[in-house]
Amino acid sequence: MKILRENFPSDDDGEVLFQLASKGINLRVKRKIEFTCWAGNRQTAENIVNDLETYGYQSTVFVDDGANGSGDVSVYASILMLPDHELLLAEQKRLNAILKFYGTTCDGWVTESF
């Protein structure tokens, strides 16, 4: 069966799902989905991690000491779920409701593509 772009929603999430399906990833099987959340600083990130773990996420703090030396701090929050467009939107909405307390939001998601 040929994977067609028009069979997926025309947004960023739909594009990722299309790319996954094009690589032969079965979108009807639960996968570890990792959401990225900007935290601002390490203390906020640690608080977010503690909070998200009570909601069933496995979370870690990531400090980007990249070439610009900015030290940007993010939280990676992962959960096992179906990579389904509506479910992904609902999960991002749920995450954003939790993160609102910290003045931040979810900034996308990834999953292993192999």
Residue 57 placed within a domain: yes
* Predicted confidence (pLDDT) at residue 1 exceeds the cutoff of 80: no
CATH of the domain at 101: 3.30.70.970
Residue 13 placed within a domain: no
Per-residue pLDDT tens digits for 46-75:
999 999 999 999 999 999 876 555 678 999
State the DSSP string of 23-84: TT--TTS-EEEEEEEE-SSHHHHHHHHHHHHTTT-EEEEEEE--TT---EEEEEEEEEE---
Residue 24 placed within a domain: no
Q: What is the pTM of this model?
A: 0.88
Return mean pLDDT, the chain. 92
Range of the domain at 85: 29-111
Domain count, the chain: 1
